[in-house]
Amino acid sequence: MRPIADIARDLQRGAVTSRSLVEEALAKIEDPAGEGSRTFIRVFRDSALAAADASDCLRAAGLVPSPLAGIPVSIKDLCDVAGVTTYAGSPTLRNAPPATRDAPVVARLRAAGAVIMGTTNLTEFAVGGLGLNPHFGDCRNPYDRETGRVPGGSSAGAAVSVTDGMAAVGLGTDTAGSVRIPASLCGLVGFKPTKSRVPTNGVFPLSTTLDSVGPLAPTVACCAVTDAIFANEDPVVPDAIPLDGLRFGIPDTLVIDDLEPAVQVAFDSALSTLSGAGARIEIFKFPELAELGGVGRNRFPAMVEGYSIHRERLESMIDLMDPRISERLLGGLKLSGPDYYEILEFRKGFIERATAITSRFDAVIMPTLPITAPPIADFHGSDERLRDPHVIIIRNTCVANLLDRCALTIPCHEPGAAPVGFTLMGENMADRRIFGIGQSVEKLLSPIL
């Protein structure tokens, strides 16, 4: 993995070309000993090479539209790419018509000069945090490949495409943590924006209330540039914000409960490091989190919205779906119209109460996940064993979605250890400020990762 800024610098001085970058990425995708066949659902070999050649010609003429110009990126197979069918990780869509136009986020990447390598694997219909897909294969976490651990989901392929050098940055989506979960488990930076900043039209929905689009990349700066392109803003990296005197709050409810020992050690070490740099860290009362119950199962709009989106499919094509996914989607059938209204009203009040509590902090911090990546083999042939990890893996990340806030996960583990993510959650529309804080946090917590 290399930061976008380093690759762009090499392109500018002629040390590499866009074509050589794309050829290298294709070689990794096509390596039979690698993860490419499980990471990508579709590879755009010919169009990627053509786009790379065009980028090199434009650069030679002095035309460089953005820091991503000529650089390989991957697209989660939930986003429309003109001329091809969006599968959303499901065989039920194999015969669906091709997209007539790019999703806006894809179009913005093209306009920025990025080279689109292909569409990446995901949990079917983005329903789940482990990143497993029985239809297109289970790509393996870069950590402990021999064992074969879950990459995290639902943006599983997006993460592995970056860790394995098949793309410099991955486009993911995040409804309850689907960018930040694989980023955390795979040792990447991942960002969930405030929902309204980045358009989601042209992206196959799971929850129209909660869905958002975000990047997975090696560094905070990489995510900041890519997020700006997604949001149609100037692709610049905000200045780093010094940590001395910043106020960080840790909720006393839910998010620090039952942490796996490796996560606890990494998080405690991160707190000590940040405190030593002058950050003021406070554990504060946030009893409202307890109201989420079983990880928001009865407070989560996605339950009703997901069922509504897939209702006809569940009636006519359920035999083609992963039964674990269809079971979750069918959960929305149990909720009525009044239930849905109460869920939305709860969320409205939850946001208001939380803002009153947390607005005094520069960021709310927490472990991104309470666990590290478990072995894939733990979940084969056992529906029951899949349920509990599915719930706990979204426990912390779903908070930012329910509150409609921005959230950034940054690696905080020791080199060689199982990846652990550290979350900075900002207020609604505080996205660029969180990137500024995140750069300073990254320098301390993951300076050589």
Strands (E), 150-237: 169-174, 189-192, 212-217
178 flagged as catalytic: yes
Span 184-195, pLDDT tens digits: 999 999 999 999
pLDDT at 72 over 50: yes
pLDDT at 381 over 80: no
Average pLDDT rounded to a whole number, residues 304-317:
97
pLDDT value at residue 292: 78
pLDDT at 288 over 90: no
Output the average pLDDT for the chain.
Answer: 95
pLDDT value at residue 380: 81
In b/e form, how buried is each residue of 251-267, taking b as 16+ CB within 10 angstroms? beebbbeebbebbeebb
**Active-site option among 18, 28, 74, 76:** 76
Span 382-394, pLDDT tens digits: 665 555 556 789 9
pLDDT value at residue 383: 61
Confidence band for 105, pLDDT divided at 50, 70 and 90: very high
If you search the block for the tokens 């927490």, which residue do you land on?
A: 366
154 flagged as catalytic: yes
Using an 8 Å Cβ cutoff, are 149 and 104 in contact?
no
Q: Which domains does the chain have, with CATH numbers?
A: 1-449 (3.90.1300.10)
Confidence band for 297, pLDDT divided at 50, 70 and 90: low
Max CA distance (Å), the chain: 62
pLDDT value at residue 448: 62
Q: Which helix (H) or strand (E) holds 266?
A: helix 261-276
Average pLDDT rounded to a whole number, residues 364-371:
98
pLDDT at 233 over 80: yes
pLDDT value at residue 295: 46
76 flagged as catalytic: yes
Using an 8 Å Cβ cutoff, are 424 and 434 in contact?
yes
Average pLDDT rounded to a whole number, residues 285-292:
88
In the three-class reduction of DSSP (H, G, I as helix; E, B as strand; rest coil), residue 349 is classed as: helix
Note the pTM of the prediction, 2 decimals: 0.97
In b/e form, how buried is each residue of 42-61, taking b as 16+ CB within 10 angstroms? bbbeeebbebbbebbebbee
Burial of 428 (0-12, 13-18, 19+ CB in 10 A): middle
**Active-site option among 154, 155, 212, 446:** 154
- DSSP structural state of residue 287: G
φ/ψ of residue 403, rounded to 5: -90, -5
Sequential DSSP letters for 314-338: HHHSGGGS-HHHHHHHHGGGG--HH
Span 17-71, pLDDT tens digits: 999 999 999 999 999 999 999 999 999 999 999 999 999 999 999 999 999 999 9
Strands (E), 47-90: 72-76
Q: Residues near 121 by Cβ (< 8 Å), separated by ≥ 6?
A: 38, 39, 40, 41, 77, 89, 133, 136, 137, 139, 156, 157
